[in-house]
Chains A and B, each alone.
Chain A
Amino acid sequence: DADVTQTPRNRITKTGKRIMLECSQTKGHDRMYWYRQDPGLGLRLIYYSFDVKDINKGEISDGYSVSRQAQAKFSLSLESAIPNQTALYFCAASGGRYNEQFFGPGTRLTVL
């Protein structure tokens, strides 16, 4: 079984719709992250959480919100989706000696 899972894997939605992307991890790590990846750009941090009660904005948090429901679950919401939020979204969990990040398989989101 994968250490970090994301659902859905693909989603097409319309402008203005609310959408939630979900992430679960079995690594037992406290730290979880949401990134987006656009062609020609490096991964950019949207939100991160160091434990259930600690949630922080990343560099591109506008238009997004998150919820850390449990140590193993971290969801990302787009309250009112817009076309420039079309991207590949990755969840990650990190821990261990080097705080190594383990990434999920990604969610490809298309906003029409």
Chain B
Amino acid sequence: KNQVEQSPQSLIILEGKNCTLQCNYTVSPFSNLRWYKQDTGRGPVSLTIMTFSENTKSNGRYTATLDADTKQSSLHITASQLSDSASYICVVSGTGTYKYIFGTGTRLKVLA
């Protein structure tokens, strides 16, 4: 069964600190992996998209990594800001399919 699992479920950090969110998946054959940021009550917004051949991709203070062999991805947030408080969702899609498999997300709270 195609699944996407994220950890931790929730995380609290102090402003200015770094953090890393994890995503493990079993989707096969793999096409691409996306990280989304979802503010409370808003729609998800794309942060990064990575294909099979990409190991890392950055978007400002967000850096995503992908290990297609172990089927793991991480999202690293550097120098966190209060505005980073949100849910971060990992989404994986398979080759030749319309389907996007969504993780349940990691809820991040950044405290002043």
Contacts and interface: CB of A to CB of B under 8 A. Distances in A.
Contacts, number: 47
**Contact residue range for chain B?**
20 to 34
Instruction: Please indicate which of the listed interface residues A43, A98, A104 has the most CB atoms of chain B within 10 Å of its own CB.
Output: A43
B100 interface: yes
Majority secondary structure, B binding face: strand
Given A42-B4, A42-B104, A106-B42, A98 B98 contact: no
Contact of A106 (B34, B43, B46, B93): B43
Nearest to A91: B43
B43 A104 contact: yes
13 contacts: A41-B104, A42-B89, A42-B102, A45-B99, A45-B100, A92-B43, A98-B32, A98-B51, A99-B93, A100-B46, A101-B34, A102-B46, A106-B43
A89 to B, nearest CB: 10
Interface of A: 4, 31, 40-45, 48, 50, 56, 88, 90, 92, 98-106, 108
A43 B43 CA distance: 11
Contacts of B89: 42-43
A102 B102 CA distance: 14
B41 interface: yes
Contacts of B103: 42
